[in-house]
Amino acid sequence: MITKDHIRKLAEKHLTGTGLFLVDVRLSSTGRITVLIDRHEGVTIDDCSSMSRYISTALGEEAGDYELNVSSPGLDMPLLVIEQYRKNEGRLVEVIAGDGTREKGRLMNVTEGGFDLSIESKTKKKETVTLIKPFNFEDVKSVKVIISFK
């Protein structure tokens, strides 16, 4: 039987030394396996196909019927692992805190425990003020990169 943990171990073994990192593994009840990988410089189709071949070969025919999808996370997906936070440091993000409040700002100073959000706001005198708000990972529901086409 295919388990999420087994797929995770296969993926991590294949990614060792490649500069790629594992973002997530998802298994559906219908036999769909989704593996999300990323790299600071981005993911290529060759990266995805190499991972797909590796997992398919490792699982062999004994795994039964399954559908394997390997890709990079979509632009609309929240950040899930610390490597993604590091990759997106300096970019504009939207943070949904544990209490449901939303903040927009620049992702800064990513550490093992959390990050800072640099928030710019205008004063009544139309001066720009920058506030730094710290967040612990456990106190955050979601962080998404804000895509702008300027």
Residue 123 has a CB neighbour count (10 Å cut-off) of 8
Task: Give the residue from 87, 90, 86, 80 showing the smallest Cα distance to 144.
Answer: 80
The confidence band for 38, taking pLDDT boundaries of 50, 70 and 90, is very high
Query: Do 61 and 90 have their domain in common?
Result: no
Query: Do 65 and 86 have their domain in common?
Result: no
Q: Which residues of 66-82 are buried (b: 16+ CB within 10 A; e: fewer)?
A: bebebbbbeeeebbbeb
> Which tens digit of pLDDT belongs to each residue from 51-83?
999 999 998 876 778 899 999 998 889 999 999
pLDDT of residue 60: 83
**Of 44, 71, 98, which residue constitutes the final position of a domain?**
71
pLDDT of residue 37: 97
Mean pLDDT of the chain: 91
Query: Do 97 and 54 have their domain in common?
Result: no
**CATH number (domain holding residue 31):** 3.30.300.70
Strand ranges inside the chain, DSSP E: 21-27, 32-38, 67-71, 92-97, 102-108, 114-122, 128-136, 140-145
Query: Do 35 and 64 have their domain in common?
Result: yes
pTM of the model: 0.85
Query: Do 64 and 115 have their domain in common?
Result: no
Give the whole-angstrom CA distance, residue 37 versus residue 123.
Answer: 42
**Of 51, 71, 91, which residue constitutes the final position of a domain?**
71
Query: Do 54 and 93 have their domain in common?
Result: no
77 occurs within a structural domain: no
**Of 13, 46, 71, which residue constitutes the final position of a domain?**
71
Query: Do 65 and 12 have their domain in common?
Result: yes
Q: Domain residues for 42? A: 4-71
150 occurs within a structural domain: no
Q: Please state, for a pLDDT cut of 70, what percent of the chain lies above it.
A: 99
98 occurs within a structural domain: yes
Query: Do 17 and 38 have their domain in common?
Result: yes
16 occurs within a structural domain: yes
Strands of the sheet containing 21-27, edge to edge, are 21-27, 32-38, 67-71
Query: Do 45 and 86 have their domain in common?
Result: no
